[in-house]
Every structure is written in structure tokens, then in C-alpha cells.
């Protein structure tokens, strides 16, 4: 037996052992533990749940989708967890928002819906931005654009006009509040220096 042949046999034996024992041999295309298929009810990862069920309409990362942004700190400051839970579980009649809870014919468990609600809050809300502002109580705006003239045609609830009005109001009032606060501080300083003089 030549030395070359011996080396070849040795390589084949080592490869065969590695393949048979499966040790550290990762076949191309073989899913890793993280990638393996899971039954839908087993999924407990926010990103996977959101990407598979919501991103198509509400956008990757909750923004720039066809449906309203969920990654919106003002919306998240305004909406209650319960209202989000309700919308996800039961859907929004009159819009494309489907019902996701198993009770309503969807395929998400209550725990998964909870995970979505808490996940959106922890990732996308910025409560500090709104801590000095008293926001109105969350409610779905029931007045569609055509209501009044022909309420039979469009009775779908919409929150966007309300949120838009709220955003516009904040844009107006915020600088006023800021200026007022600065002026109060100035008046306060002047009063204090006057007190020192007299």
C-alpha cells in the first residue's frame, strides 16, 4: 500500500465517522434548532409572531404599511392595552383588520396576543415623551367621513382622524407650553431677585 493510498483511506474513514455520528456536521439546508418548524401555537417570539401575522399590513417594524402604524409613540401613549387586545382578538369590523383569537376563528392563543401587546409596548412606546401631557381618553372615532350624510354607507370605526387631530393639537400646544414654562421660570427668577432687593 502506498503512503498516498493510506492517507486517502484515513480521510474517508474520518469523514465516514463524522457523518455517521453526526458530530458537528451541519448539512447544507438542514435547519438549526432556532429555525426548525414549530406548530403555530408554539411560537412565543414577538418578532416571529409580528412578522408572520402583522407586518404584511402594518409594515415591517410596525411602520410604513398599508394599515396604520403601530410603531407610533403617540398612538401607544393614547391607546390602552385592553383596546389593543380587543382589536387583535376580535378584529375591526368594517376594516381589513382580521380577528386573531382562537375564539373568534383566528389562530393565535391568548398568550400570543398578550405577547404582541406587551411586545409592541416595550419596543415602540416612549412614555417619557408624553409624561407632561394629558391625553384624552382612548376611544375609537365612530364618525366615518360619510356619516351624517349617509350613515348607512360607512359606519366603520376609525381612529386615524382622532389621532391626526390629537397630533396636530400637540404640535400646536407643545411650543406654547414650553414658552409658558420658560416665562414662568423667568418671572420666578425676577420675583426672587426682587425679594432679595427689598
State which residue, 70 or 166, has the beta carbon closest to ligand HEC.
70
State which residue, 161 or 188, has the beta carbon closest to ligand HEC.
161
State which residue, 121 or 133, has the beta carbon closest to ligand HEC.
121
Could you tell me the three cell numbers for 14? 474520518
Q: Least distance to ligand HEC from the beta carbon of 131, Å?
A: 21
74 lines the binding site for ligand HEC (CB under 6 A): no
The binder of ligand HEC chosen from 74, 76, 79, 166 (CB under 6 A): 79
Q: Least distance to ligand HEC from the beta carbon of 120, Å?
A: 7
State which residue, 93 or 185, has the beta carbon closest to ligand HEC.
93
- Own/partner pairs, 65-72, CB within 8 angstroms, 24+ separation: 67/95, 67/96, 67/97, 68/159, 68/160, 68/163, 70/120, 70/124, 71/120, 71/123, 71/124, 72/124
State which residue, 95 or 147, has the beta carbon closest to ligand HEC.
95
Q: Which is nearest to 112 in space by CA: 38, 36, 31, 33?
A: 38
76 lines the binding site for ligand HEC (CB under 6 A): no
105 lines the binding site for ligand HEC (CB under 6 A): no
The binder of ligand HEC chosen from 58, 72, 76, 101 (CB under 6 A): 58
Q: Least distance to ligand HEC from the beta carbon of 185, Å?
A: 37
88 lines the binding site for ligand HEC (CB under 6 A): yes
Q: Which residues are at the interface with ligand HEC (CB under 6 A)?
A: 53-54, 56-58, 67-68, 70, 79, 83-84, 87-88, 92, 95-98, 100, 116, 140, 158-160
Amino acid at each position: 500500500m502506498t503512503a498516498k493510498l493510506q492517507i486517502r483511506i484515513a480521510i474517508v474513514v474520518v469523514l465516514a465517522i463524522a457523518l455517521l455520528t453526526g458530530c458537528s456536521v451541519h448539512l447544507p439546508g438542514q435547519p438549526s434548532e432556532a429555525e426548525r418548524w414549530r406548530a403555530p401555537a408554539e411560537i412565543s417570539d414577538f418578532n416571529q409572531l409580528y412578522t408572520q401575522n402583522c407586518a404584511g399590513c402594518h409594515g415591517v417594524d410596525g411602520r410604513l404599511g398599508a394599515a396604520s402604524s403601530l410603531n407610533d409613540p403617540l398612538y401607544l401613549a393614547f391607546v390602552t392595552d385592553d383596546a389593543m387586545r380587543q382589536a387583535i382578538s376580535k378584529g375591526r369590523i368594517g376594516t381589513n383588520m382580521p380577528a386573531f383569537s382562537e375564539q373568534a376563528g383566528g389562530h393565535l392563543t391568548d398568550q400570543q396576543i398578550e405577547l404582541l401587546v406587551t411586545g409592541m409596548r416595550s419596543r415602540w412606546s416612549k412614555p417619557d415623551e408624553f409624561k407632561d401631557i394629558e391625553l384624552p381618553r382612548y376611544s375609537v372615532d365612530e364618525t366615518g367621513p360619510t356619516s351624517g350624510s349617509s350613515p348607512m354607507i360607512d359606519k366603520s370605526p376609525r381612529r386615524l382622524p382622532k389621532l391626526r387631530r390629537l397630533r396636530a393639537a400637540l404640535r400646536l400646544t407643545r411650543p406654547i407650553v414650553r414658552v409658558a414654562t420658560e416665562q414662568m421660570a423667568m418671572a420666578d427668577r425676577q420675583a426672587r431677585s426682587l425679594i432679595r432687593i427689598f
